[in-house]
Amino acid sequence: MIDPDGPTPVYVQIAHAIAERIARGDLAPNRPIPSETQIQQEYGVARATARHAVAELRKRGLVYTVPQRGTYVSETRKR
Amino acid sequence: MIDPDGPTPVYVQIAHAIAERIARGDLAPNRPIPSETQIQQEYGVARATARHAVAELRKRGLVYTVPQRGTYVSETRKR
DNA sequence: GTGTATTTGTTCGTATGTATC
DNA sequence: CGATACATACGAACAAATACA
């Protein structure tokens, strides 16, 4: 699923994969996404890379992080 | 005893030191090895490093951990 | 029965060093 | 040089189960 040798950075690929799980409803609002450790194991990357991926999702507003608790899927914007 | 600036990672050095104590019989089968907190203090390292060292010993099959209990020296393999 | 201390489990935050492209 | 990525290490906080007085 992740291509370490591709042109797209691994952390972007992982962020994209998680974003899809959110879009699909696999990961619901206010529910935790995989922890950094789980991402490390699931994708076989270093923690720094896992963190980078999460930071990417946070930057896009898809998730929010609670220190020492975890990272959760943002609530769908009211409309 | 532990060299933080050496080429060998601190957690490996600590794992090695404890492995020697086991090999020497200083730590007997089914007896607890030092807790993570004790390892922290004895070697002056962070808990994450102490845990890493214990994980290393577990990986080698030298010890087994009982959640909320402690980590114990594995029984000598029957032969 | 009740509280306290101990121990491992788990999480995110941060920094440093190395290597590669 | 900067971005990416890995490994190591320290810090801080809280949870949960166990052990014991």
Give the DSSP letter string of B5-28: TSSS-HHHHHHHHHHHHHHTTSS-
User: What is the pLDDT, as a whole number, of residue B4?
Assistant: 87
The DSSP code sequence of A28-46 is -TTSBPPPHHHHHHHHT--
Q: Which residue is nearest to nucleotide D14 (CA to C1')?
A: A68
Report the predicted TM-score, pTM, of the whole model to 2 decimal places. Answer: 0.89
Interatomic CA–C1' length for residue A15 and nucleotide D6, angstroms: 18
* Average pLDDT of the residues in A56-78: 92
* Average pLDDT of the residues in B6-23: 96
Q: Which residues touch strand C (CB under 7 A)?
A: A 35-38, 47-48, 51, 54, 65-71; B 35-38, 47-48, 51, 54, 65, 67-71
Percent of chain A with pLDDT over 90: 89
Q: What tens digit of pLDDT does each residue of B18-63 get? A: 999 999 999 999 999 999 999 999 999 999 999 999 999 999 999 9
> Exposed (0-12), middle (13-18) or buried (19+): which is B71, by Cβ within 10 Å?
buried
User: What is the pLDDT, as a whole number, of residue A1?
Assistant: 85
Q: Which residue is nearest to nucleotide C13 (CA to C1')?
A: A67
User: What is the pLDDT, as a whole number, of residue B57?
Assistant: 97
